[in-house]
Structure 1
Amino acid sequence: MNKRHSFFYAINSRLKSVVYLSLVILCAVDAYGQEKEKSWTELKQNYEFPAWYTEARFGIWLHWGGQSQPDNGGGWYARHMYMQDVGGQTFGKDAYPDHLKQYGHPSKSGYKEVLQSWKAEKLNPDALMKYFKEMGAKYFMILAVHHDHFDDFNSTYQKWNSVNIGPKRDIVGDFRKSARKYNMPFGVSSHDDRYLSWWLPAFGSDSSGPLKGVPYDGNLTKEDGKGLWWDGLDPADLYGMPPAKRTPEWISDMKKTWVLRHKELVTKYDVDMLWYDGYGFPYGEPGKEVCRTLFENSLKKNGKIMAVAAGKISDDDAIVKDIECGTSNDINPKPWQGIITTSSGWFYKKDREMVHNARTIIEMMADVNSKNGNLLLNVELLPTGSLSADEKAILDEVGAWVNKNSAAIYASKPWKVYGDNLNSILKRATNIANADLEALKKQAESEQFNQRTVKSPPYGNDEVRFTTKGNILYVFVLNPIEGEIGLPALGLKSQQLPGKIKSVKMMDGKRITFRQTDEKLTFSIPAVRPSKYAAVFEVKGAL
């Protein structure tokens, strides 16, 4: 073999070796990648809830979307606008008549027209995020998709989304950027697993009146949209197929698409938290697969799982237990979350009934924190994307209280008992009718929807909640007035066996006179306090 041939032979052999080695590496990388795709069971085996969540104690949620656009009509506007009679669902009683006035008959102008009219023209995620952080929130969540099946993000698998229709912007993406800018853990909520049944009224028609029997726009097809603003879009992708055409194959494909949409949501936006509405994993295994993807994505990015999944899922230790409009009955050793909103409808409406004010929100926070939970407060934005004056007034007061008492809130842990002088409302209820008294007792025993509202009787002046941090016990007097208060749980011979108390201070540093006996701790609540709401005291020596 001559030198020239030897040279090319050597080069050829080397190229073959390089190609072979590259293929081996690629196969190894692929195998490694496959090996690293863990199951949900494997991922949650050594899972620990991250400190960013367990120490936060207070978060803000924007339950905001296309259903915020109509002036009135309740929180389930999209469903109830197709119902002349909503039965006992009073929070949507005005949706149908209001829709006729504002948009026209739902046979032609349906919910899709509501979405198209929603522009969110004053939305400023940076300004909102800055405000929420200043008022003391430690994490943030945005609604990504409600029961209406409309994606508030740049969805590859759902053309009915906020980038294509209405605001023409990636709402989830915009808020994610702002959350990262202000170093706020970022979550998304999905309420989408019930849309098949939730949308059924859209396939009906009026049962009376001049347009009786005329099908609503849920029955329209893609072809019906030619030449109209929704040309190219299929109503079936929003409302689902008409019930008679929902084959097992179609439902199976819908669930597969649901998984793709939600996997994209948690990975493309790299979310820190996913919250599910409803009870259990959405659709069973599909919902669990999305949680697996959430954890897997976090593991690959951080080297450990820093993500959180939450929902009304009681049989999985890796899921944060969620209590809607309520609180736990006792200290829960596992992280949990109470979610509340200012009105009865979750979405802003001019005719909404306010169920919370600053006082009740603060009382809820103290109660939830004392039981090892976080309070997630929903903010009902105007359809434009800005805060209403009444909402901001409430938030300003909540934020002022949180900032004054932050040491007793963030990274706090429960004590041996969550409170003292409990059930003061029932003790003071001698002048309440028997039926109302029984209702209060039943509410005290439940969890979901057991919240106290502006209509609830006030707490007794001596009822308190406890949190701890390090060697400090914090006492939250829920309904304080000037005078002495006695706490049996802090008596030297109580079941809790506290230590000898050395000092009691208000959160502004003011020393408080006290005396501790075998039976109780007694101390004075001054007339002048840092806030007119729950008064917080720092107690040293008890722990």
Structure 2
Amino acid sequence: MKLMPKLSNLILCTLLVIITAIPLTAQEKTLTWDELAEQYECPEWFRDAKFGIWFHWGPQAAPEQGGGWYARHMYMQDVGRQTFGKMAYPYHLMAYGHPSEFGFKDVINTWKAENFDAEALINFSKENGAKYIVALANHHDHFDLFDSSYHPWNSVNVGPKKDIIGEFETATRNAGLKFGVTSHDDRFLNWWKPAFGSDKDGKYAGVPYDARLTKADGKGTWWEGLDPKDLYGPAPEDRTPEIIEDIKKNWLKRHIELVDKYKPDLLYNDGFNFTYGEYGKEVTRKLYNNSLSENGKIDAVMLLKRKAKGTVNEVESGGSNTLREYPWQSEITFTDWFYKKDRHLTHNARTILEMLIEAVSKNGNLLLSMELNPDGTIPHEIKKSVVIVGDWLKINGEAIYGTRPWKVFGDGKSVRGEEVETVEGELRNATANQKHGEHFNQRTTATPAFANDEVRFTTKADDFYIIVMNPKGGEFVIPSFGKSSEVSPGTLKGLTQLYDGRKVSFKQSNKGLTINMPAVNGDSYPVVLKAKFKK
């Protein structure tokens, strides 16, 4: 029996719709956060990369002085215990005028990033050892550095008139590196409260700062059509639960767009918990589902300052006190996160290498914030240090990239808890800082040098690396490698300097491994010894 032509065509069309809908439905199915967290494992690319460079840069870089929280502290005559921002208010008066007349919204307008060259910055980072790049998407100042559809105060509309994140992302992909973004926006409501105040004394006592201005006040100004409330948030007395909920929903829209538009491999929320609770989880869910769809596996990283299932732990301005089972990341910066000429550098090449080696030996990565001048160029003294780090990695990267930790992370006086005599002749307990938390326990330019017997260990397949942190010519002992040690890797067959293949003499006994380091001229950066053990 033949079907009527019209009926036949109708059935055929119906079948085509059903068939084509099957893969579409499967493709659109996304996993819940709990399902994603249950199967999550830190990606191998992140574990192998070890060293990343972070461009923590934005309009707060425009003022030359005043600390990393300039936008907040410029509204505070007294910063209390936050002394890193003590210059912000007086500097602002001198450079820009009173914050009732020239506020942070106006500082944003002065920031033009006129020499910003994402390609040059990424190529410099890659040349000097970075395996992934991270860029600041927004800070506590509530200013988006990307083409945001849901927030008018962004770098495309105001200031540079550039999609900063977009340019970084394109240059990073072209360089063949992984790309990440960071968001620090969750605290902006409380962070901005001083902007709604006024001077307590002096000529402008009682005159409201510019956060009290309205959209109507902008008529005839450069910011006409923009609403200060969208930047600073509503006045504290107007923050009803409903308004705060709307702010959270707006945060969600902005960050879903950030994840969808720029497809980062890594996302860091600057907080100990997911930003705004379930909203933060939803953004992470989107990040992971996107990665799962594109890669067939979750190949993305979500960083939090607390240890949470489905994420990787981040330690700010510090490092782990122990060898960790799960991968983690240390983050450090040169001054106060935004480059300021009135602040000394917290780090140099020596301390960056020490923090990197410490992290890698304990199953972690190091993310270095390379602060930029307001115009987008690298300050000379920062560039100099990063080049030295890059030169060291060109020679010794074999002991860093793609490695895994050993049974213990290292040996030496600080590991054993012994007192260390510094160059200045002072005595300190090398483990004193380790009694405190891990955040902000970093080694800095003010930290006394390591003892000569301080070593860290990394491994790669059958290769074993002993990294001597502060090498001096002469003998020193590593008790961990004693033949009777509980963690002994076995009998040592050979020991060479990685950078020149020169053999290093040693003696191994039950009590330890005695290494006779070749002479070192003056101060030296860490030296890597490649060891072969008989199994």
Deviation at residue 530 of structure 1 after TM alignment: 13
Q: Deviations over 1:320-363 (max 9, x none)?
A: 111111111111010100101122x1110111121111111111
Tell me the equivalent position of 1:461.
452
Tell me the equivalent position of 1:446.
437
Aligned partners of 1:190 and 1:277 also within 8 Å: yes
Q: Distance in 1 between matches of 2:517 and 2:421?
A: 24
Aligned partners of 1:81 and 1:95 also within 8 Å: yes
Q: Distance in 2 between matches of 1:530 and 1:281?
A: 48
Deviation at residue 387 of structure 1 after TM alignment: 0.5
Aligned partners of 2:291 and 2:299 also within 8 Å: yes
Aligned residue among 8, 14, 27 for 1:20? 14
After superposition, the Cα gap between the structure-2 partners of 1:500 and 1:431, relative to the gap in structure 1 and judged at 3 Å, is closer
Map 1:270-281 → 2, pairs under 5 A: 270-281=263-274
SS in 2 for 1:474: strand
Aligned residue among 290, 293, 296 for 1:303? 296
Deviation at residue 380 of structure 1 after TM alignment: 0.7
Q: Distance in 2 between matches of 1:80 and 1:223?
A: 26
Map 1:125-144 → 2, pairs under 5 A: 125-144=118-137
- Give the aligned residue type for 1:126: E
After superposition, the Cα gap between the structure-2 partners of 1:437 and 1:337, relative to the gap in structure 1 and judged at 3 Å, is same
Q: Deviations over 1:117-146 (max 9, x none)?
A: 100011111111111111111111000000
1:231 matched to 2:256? The reply is: no
Aligned partners of 1:404 and 1:530 also within 8 Å: no
Q: How many residues align?
A: 532
SS in 2 for 1:263: helix
After superposition, the Cα gap between the structure-2 partners of 1:530 and 1:404, relative to the gap in structure 1 and judged at 3 Å, is farther
Tell me the equivalent position of 2:102.
109
RMSD: 2.2
Tell me the equivalent position of 1:269.
262
After superposition, the Cα gap between the structure-2 partners of 1:522 and 1:303, relative to the gap in structure 1 and judged at 3 Å, is same
After superposition, the Cα gap between the structure-2 partners of 1:439 and 1:331, relative to the gap in structure 1 and judged at 3 Å, is closer
Q: TM-score, normalised by structure 2?
A: 0.95
Tell me the equivalent position of 2:169.
176
Q: Distance in 2 between matches of 1:306 and 1:331?
A: 24
Q: Distance in 2 between matches of 1:542 and 1:238?
A: 64
Deviation at residue 17 of structure 1 after TM alignment: 3.0
Q: Distance in 2 between matches of 1:541 and 1:143?
A: 44
SS in 2 for 1:468: strand
Aligned partners of 1:313 and 1:319 also within 8 Å: no
Aligned partners of 1:529 and 1:535 also within 8 Å: no
Aligned partners of 2:418 and 2:430 also within 8 Å: no
1:217 matched to 2:205? The reply is: no
- Give the aligned residue type for 2:202: G
- Give the aligned residue type for 1:338: S
Q: Distance in 2 between matches of 1:529 and 1:540?
A: 27
Aligned partners of 1:444 and 1:450 also within 8 Å: no
SS in 1 for 2:181: strand
SS in 1 for 2:270: strand
Tell me the equivalent position of 2:365.
374
1:323 matched to 2:321? The reply is: no
1:541 matched to 2:533? The reply is: yes
Unaligned runs of 5+ in 1: 1-5
SS in 2 for 1:496: coil
Aligned partners of 1:490 and 1:542 also within 8 Å: no
1:418 matched to 2:412? The reply is: no
1:204 matched to 2:197? The reply is: yes
SS in 2 for 1:278: coil
- Give the aligned residue type for 2:6: N
1:515 matched to 2:476? The reply is: no
Aligned residue among 25, 43, 50 for 1:57? 50
Deviation at residue 16 of structure 1 after TM alignment: 3.1
Tell me the equivalent position of 1:351.
342
Unaligned runs of 5+ in 2: none
Q: Distance in 2 between matches of 1:30 and 1:281?
A: 31
Deviation at residue 13 of structure 1 after TM alignment: 2.5
After superposition, the Cα gap between the structure-2 partners of 1:15 and 1:239, relative to the gap in structure 1 and judged at 3 Å, is farther
Aligned residue among 324, 328, 333 for 2:325? 333
Deviation at residue 31 of structure 1 after TM alignment: 4.5
Q: Distance in 2 between matches of 1:93 and 1:256?
A: 34
- Give the aligned residue type for 1:297: N
SS in 2 for 1:501: strand
Q: Distance in 2 between matches of 1:54 and 1:430?
A: 34
Aligned partners of 1:86 and 1:92 also within 8 Å: yes
Deviation at residue 458 of structure 1 after TM alignment: 1.0
Aligned partners of 2:36 and 2:310 also within 8 Å: no
Q: Distance in 2 between matches of 1:430 and 1:90?
A: 28
Aligned partners of 2:155 and 2:163 also within 8 Å: yes
Aligned residue among 355, 374, 382 for 1:391? 382
- Give the aligned residue type for 2:230: D
- Give the aligned residue type for 1:46: Q
Deviation at residue 317 of structure 1 after TM alignment: 2.7
Aligned partners of 2:471 and 2:520 also within 8 Å: no
Q: Distance in 1 between matches of 2:413 and 2:50?
A: 22
Aligned residue among 462, 469, 482 for 1:491? 482
Aligned partners of 1:189 and 1:277 also within 8 Å: yes
Q: Distance in 1 between matches of 2:423 and 2:505?
A: 34
Q: Deviations over 1:184-238 (max 9, x none)?
A: 1000000011001000011111111111111111111111112211111111111
1:40 matched to 2:43? The reply is: no
- Give the aligned residue type for 2:442: Q
After superposition, the Cα gap between the structure-2 partners of 1:253 and 1:22, relative to the gap in structure 1 and judged at 3 Å, is farther
After superposition, the Cα gap between the structure-2 partners of 1:514 and 1:302, relative to the gap in structure 1 and judged at 3 Å, is same
1:256 matched to 2:245? The reply is: no
Deviation at residue 431 of structure 1 after TM alignment: 11
Q: TM-score, normalised by structure 1?
A: 0.94
1:152 matched to 2:145? The reply is: yes
Q: Deviations over 1:83-103 (max 9, x none)?
A: 111011111101111111222
- Give the aligned residue type for 2:26: Y
Deviation at residue 292 of structure 1 after TM alignment: 0.5
Tell me the equivalent position of 1:3.
none
- Give the aligned residue type for 2:243: W
Q: Distance in 2 between matches of 1:505 and 1:156?
A: 57
1:500 matched to 2:494? The reply is: no
Tell me the equivalent position of 2:234.
241
Deviation at residue 247 of structure 1 after TM alignment: 1.4
Aligned partners of 1:370 and 1:414 also within 8 Å: yes
Q: Distance in 1 between matches of 2:332 and 2:32?
A: 33
- Give the aligned residue type for 1:381: L
Deviation at residue 27 of structure 1 after TM alignment: 5.9
Q: Distance in 1 between matches of 2:425 and 2:475?
A: 30
Aligned partners of 2:348 and 2:445 also within 8 Å: yes
1:527 matched to 2:519? The reply is: yes
Tell me the equivalent position of 2:396.
405
More displaced 10-residue stretch of structure 1: 39-48 or 404-413: 39-48
After superposition, the Cα gap between the structure-2 partners of 1:308 and 1:357, relative to the gap in structure 1 and judged at 3 Å, is same
Q: Distance in 1 between matches of 2:40 and 2:429?
A: 42
Q: Distance in 2 between matches of 1:440 and 1:506?
A: 29
